[in-house]
Amino acid sequence: MSNKVALITGITGQDGAYLAELLLEKGYTVHGIKRRSSLFNTNRIDHIYQDPHVDNRRFILHYGDLTDSTNIINVIQKVQPDEVYNLAAQSHVAVSFETPEYTANCDALGTLRVLEAIRILGLAKKTRVYQASTSELYGLVQETPQTEKTPFYPRSPYAVAKLYGYWITVNYREAYGMYACNGILFNHESPLRGETFVTRKITRAMARIKLGLQDCLFLGNLDARRDWGHARDYVKMMWLMLQQDKPEDFVIATGVQHSVRQFVQAAAEELGIPVRFEGQGVDEKGYHAETGQCIVAVDPRYFRPTEVETLLGDPSNAREKLGWEPRITFKQMVAEMIQADLRDAERDSLCKTQGFRTYDFHE
């Protein structure tokens, strides 16, 4: 067992939750930074939460925000972490077109604030940093599949901000000899994925359609192709990247690609819904093959000003150096997501029949 101390920014998110579980299993003391909100935002980590009155806590939350330098410096000073995992971000590509400046502030400057805090606190030689970089950096892909050497071509304010985060991490490694590295993670999903991300949106909707809680699922670009893995697999790679002799950037991906349409089909299949696609472009629709009900339709509002059509990662380097082998297949992942969302839908359905109000949680 380790007695290391880790600090996770973005602990309330999908990756933060899985990573916290993993590090606690490994014996770490885990500190997390969460943003203050008037709504509860800790449902992904409630199962590992430890009350402040418990002795020898190994899971400790701090209020904070990557847009506040003083806060980042204070928390890092207090925690004196051996490892920092910078997972906090405005992480939604489509929303970044609406909030480009905020996205730059969190994702670009936020990364710089973390690195700079470590440096000015004199922790540059002690604290190792994992920076959550993203396959969105490849955007309009310059070659397929994408490796650590593929040039970037970001296609959204999110990706441009993350590009800054990537290079400033490289720069702090080169300039100050920090152990800082980028995980260029391709899409990774799970039942904990945010509800507005397309995969989770699909599995939630399909489960609710199955139980008659929803009629139709509206999506954007059905032809977009992504390399989807399971977040539980991916957080292990984050940890491994910080356990190497030398800091290095790694692509983490499955090397397998599916379209959004195929994701819908896989989700429907898991629920035993036969779905048939007809039509082209914005007129394409998915019908329930037995009832004829239209259950999937395209809504151009979900198109992006600049789309990323295809992403496919080549994880050879991670396989060789980190022993990366994704355990959970695409089909298993979709099944797990569907089962979780089906349970939620069943609970809502039950509540409704008993006369309680449930919320649809629209985007």
Partner 1 sequence: MKSALIIGITGQDGAYLARLLLEKGYAVAGTSRDAQMARTANLRLLGVADKVTLHSASPSDFRGLWQVIEKARPDEIYNLAGQSSVGLSFDQPLETFESVAVATLNILELLRLLGRPVRFYNACSSECFGHTPEPANEETPFKPRSPYAVAKAATCWAVANYREAYGLFACSGILFNHESPLRPTRFVTSKIVSTACRIAAGSGERLSLGNTDVVRDWGWAAEYVDAMWRMLQHPEPEDFVIATGRSHSLMEFTAQAFAAVGLNHADHVDTRPELLRPADIPVSKGDPSKARELLGWAASKDMPLVVKEMVRAEQERLRLQEKCS
Number of residues that bind partner 1 (CB under 8 A): 32
Q: Is 156 helix (H, G, I), strand (E, B) or coil?
A: coil
253 within 8 A of 227, measured Cβ to Cβ: yes
Does residue 158 carry a catalytic annotation?
yes
Does 72 contact partner 1 by CB under 8 A? no
Does 156 contact partner 1 by CB under 8 A? yes
Does 197 contact partner 1 by CB under 8 A? no
Does 208 contact partner 1 by CB under 8 A? no
Quote the CA–CA distance of 230 and 23 in Å, as a whole number.
Answer: 17
CB closer to partner 1 out of 120 and 282? 120
Does 306 contact partner 1 by CB under 8 A? yes
Which one of the spans 28-36, 47-55, 251-259, 303-311 is the region binding partner 1 (CB under 8 A)?
303-311
Q: Is 113 helix (H, G, I), strand (E, B) or coil?
A: helix
Does 161 contact partner 1 by CB under 8 A? yes
266 within 8 A of 150, measured Cβ to Cβ: no
CB closer to partner 1 out of 155 and 230? 155
In the set 33, 75, 94, 168, which binds partner 1 (CB under 8 A)? 168
Does 163 contact partner 1 by CB under 8 A? yes
CB closer to partner 1 out of 155 and 204? 155
* Sign of torsion over alpha carbons 134, 140, 145, 147: negative
**Helix/strand/coil (H/E/C) assignment for every residue in 29-64:** EEEEEECCCCCCCCCCCHHHCCCCCCCCCCEEEEEC
CB closer to partner 1 out of 4 and 100? 100
Within its chain, how far is the Cα of 134 from the centroid?
Answer: 9
CB closer to partner 1 out of 10 and 165? 165
Contact positions with partner 1 (CB under 8 A) in 105-124: 105, 108-109, 112-113, 116
Cβ-Cβ contacts under 8 Å for 7 (sequence gap 6 or more): 31, 32, 33, 75, 76, 79, 81, 83, 84, 85
186 within 8 A of 253, measured Cβ to Cβ: yes
Does 305 contact partner 1 by CB under 8 A? yes
Quote the CA–CA distance of 336 and 103 in Å, as a whole number.
Answer: 31
From the candidates 9, 12, 103, 134, give the one annotated as an active-site residue. 134
Does residue 85 carry a catalytic annotation?
no
Does 174 contact partner 1 by CB under 8 A? yes
From the candidates 21, 83, 136, 270, give the one annotated as an active-site residue. 136
Least gap, CB of 70 to partner 1 (angstroms)? 12
Encoded one letter per residue, x for contact with partner 1 by CB under 8 A and - for no contact, window 21-60 reads ----------------------------------------
From the candidates 18, 130, 138, 158, give the one annotated as an active-site residue. 158
Quote the CA–CA distance of 103 and 161 in Å, as a whole number.
Answer: 7
CB closer to partner 1 out of 104 and 271? 104
CB closer to partner 1 out of 29 and 96? 96
Does 316 contact partner 1 by CB under 8 A? no
Quote the CA–CA distance of 86 and 76 in Å, as a whole number.
Answer: 12
Least gap, CB of 264 to partner 1 (angstroms)? 26
Within its chain, how far is the Cα of 64 from the centroid?
Answer: 19
Quote the CA–CA distance of 356 and 235 in Å, as a whole number.
Answer: 38
Least gap, CB of 157 to partner 1 (angstroms)? 7
Question: In what helix (H) or strand (E) does residue 95 lie, and over which residues does it extend?
Answer: helix 93-98
Quote the CA–CA distance of 76 and 7 in Å, as a whole number.
Answer: 8
Quote the CA–CA distance of 185 and 172 in Å, as a whole number.
Answer: 20
Quote the CA–CA distance of 21 and 30 in Å, as a whole number.
Answer: 9
Does 180 contact partner 1 by CB under 8 A? no
Please count the CA atoms within 13 angstroms of the CA of 70 that sit on its side-chain side: 0
The residues annotated with a catalytic role in the active site are: 134, 136, 158
Q: Which parts of this chain interact with partner 1 (CB under 8 A)?
A: 69, 97, 100-101, 104-105, 108-109, 112-113, 116, 151-157, 159-161, 163-164, 167-168, 171, 174-176, 304-306
